[in-house]
Amino acid sequence: MRAARAAVAGWSREPHAERERVLRAFAGALEEDAGGLAAAISLETGKPPWEARAEVRSMVAKVEISIRAHADRCAPIPGGPAVTRFRPHGVVGVLGPFNYPGHLANGHIVPALLAGNAVVFKPSEQAPSVADRYGAAWLAAGLPAGAFNLLQGGRTTGEALVDHEGLDALCLTGSAATGLAIHRRLAGRPRVLLALEMGGNNPLVVGAVGDARAAAYHAALSAYATAGQRCSCARRLIVPIGPAGDAVLEELARMAGRIRVGPPDAQPEPFMGPVISARVAESLVALQEGLEARGARPLVRLRHLASGTGLVSPGLLDVTAVADREDEEVFGPLLQAIRVRDLDAAIEEANHTAYGLAAGLLSDDPAEYERFAAGVRAGVVNWNQQLTGASSAAAFGGVGLSGNHRPSAYLAADYCSYAVASIELPELRMPAEIAPGFDL
């Protein structure tokens, strides 16, 4: 924290073009180490190589997107003698997750550094070598000493960072439980900007679709990508009662049963790697058993494929008959199907959550989407697209337990600096009108 504080003055006063140059050099360093970085992601998170390589590409692309976003969102705003400019906060702490150990933290760090802040980054303790390679890329880019600081450690290390009096802003991508704990911990410190990007109990609604196979495929991508460990993954699949809903569930059950699961080095390459740990795998099995005991009907059972590993098969449960379903983010490939009578009931069920990150509709009817988009409460709303489909060129964030109205991705520029409004005149002179009550 002292190193970051010492670096802020010099780094923030660098010409903006110089900060852009360093960021582009960082993108080049990531590209040079793309193979090693992707291998580290696969090793520590279990992602298949195709997905790890995609994460590295997203990290590289973040630089140019952030440069465009900063120019769009943080350029001086003229208004006659009034002008608004944007200044960095100072020292920004970043707490990163395990599921995208490079990309998601990078989404906070790149715009923070571009704005002139110094960063202290505590990555997930479950992906330390990814963070180490990430830090090496910043060194290779020629970033001044102290502008980026890598702080390895677990929960107590994160708590020490949150509690540090030198902190000016904190960015988290993580669970709702972690975000709420940090929110409470920062109570009474309004000067510390807090940007929370948390999870979701995300609904994917099936409406009037003519192609049940296409609907099932998009549902499978939404629920099982990254072994269900994306914050935007579908957790609830809401389908209409009747033959149309049955057809989608039948296709989805068939697909789920045929998805290749395996370690990153498996051949042929799997679609889905393991969840992050054997403990998580065991908890998913226990959750499924608990739902079955309460009336859930298994369409495809999630299975723990290898003891001592995080390898599990995708699961699909019909939980329509389960009363008082828990409103929680199940961070794994266990999708819960719910049958409803019509679109109004589907929207009501979709909103039956304290979260509000992502929601989606699969429907061939534009009028259905118009009703859905107007009625659902979420920060990301997709139509005929997998729920995990998101663009860094758009906003990304949610409401409720999913975030604190600080969307990231393209709008990360908004929380990486603060506005300074000025009225500026080049010469001091007496005004034409003197205020009443002055005897000059």
Cβ count near 166 (within 10 Å): 13
The strand pair at 169-173 and 91-95 is best described as parallel
The amino acid present at 65, given as its one-letter code, is I
Task: Tell me the three state secondary structure of residue 323.
Answer: coil
CB 120 within 8 A of CB 5: no
Among candidate residues 20, 44, 55, 197, the one labeled active-site is: 197
Q: Which of 74, 231, 233, 416 is catalytic?
A: 231
Catalytic-residue membership of 231: yes
Rounded distance between C-alpha atoms, residue 350 and residue 341, angstroms? 13
Contact 361, 383 (CB under 8 A): yes
Taking the C-alpha atoms of residue 287 and residue 319, their distance in angstroms, rounded to an integer, is 12
Phi, psi of 106 (to 5 degrees): -55, -35
- Describe the crossing of helices 155-163 and 176-185 by its angle, rounded to 10 degrees: 40
* Structural contact between residues 331 and 199, judged by C-beta atoms closer than 8 angstroms: yes
The C-alpha R_g of the chain, in whole angstroms, comes to 24
Residue 303 DSSP code: -
CA angle (311, 315, 320) in 5-degree steps? 155
What is the β-pairing status of strands 417-423 and 82-88?
antiparallel
How many H-runs (helices) and E-runs (strands) does the chain carry?
A: 14, 17
- Contact criterion met (CB below 8 Å) for 144 and 116: no
14 carries an active-site annotation: no
- Antiparallel, parallel or unpaired: β 315-318 and 297-300: antiparallel
Give yes or no for a contact between 334 and 193, defined as CB atoms under 8 angstroms apart. no
Q: Which residues contact 158 (CB under 8 A, 6 or more apart)?
A: 95, 122
Q: Kindly state the tokens that stand for 311.
A: 């390898």
Question: Catalytic site residues?
Answer: 197, 231
